[in-house]
Structure 1
């Protein structure tokens, strides 16, 4: 069985990669960085993600404190997702990654 390290004992880069790893998390966070989004709208933006996978990814991000989930007591229920205070600190990272991606696209055209 793998040894579990306390958060304060982990390498910061490793910790960040563990939180953001996976096929969907960065894509989810990119869309949430633009503002509050409802579940179905987020699923449409992501395209081929299943409801189960999106739910799991959102739950993980919520448990880690990266996003906020707001449930409105309506019929039918409305659920909205947004970045938390610590999640908002990812905006420059996501923006930098986007800019790097554009630079890399140009590099590949050469």
Structure 2
């Protein structure tokens, strides 16, 4: 049986998740007064997680769009903050990025 087929309440799964948490705490020096959450989601989930955790709804946030994933991240951020594209490489087919000094940030 694979982990995907196990009950999240079963003894086998609980031993796996407890070991994973202990290993993660050790590896990243996570103190015991912090919770560790194992959440589902891939890259696109992070498009929401980042502004939800780092921004307030009225915060202006600069986005440098260097590819299609960056464009998706910008569009998703519109639900959670006030994103502003300070540069997009779409017109260059995402083949170049500007120097940091060339960017006009908020």
TM category (shorter chain) comes to under 0.3
More helix by percentage: 1
TM-score (norm 2): 0.25
Work out which structure has the larger RCO, using CA pairs closer than 8 Å and 6 or more positions apart in sequence.
Answer: 1
- Pair member with larger Rg: 2
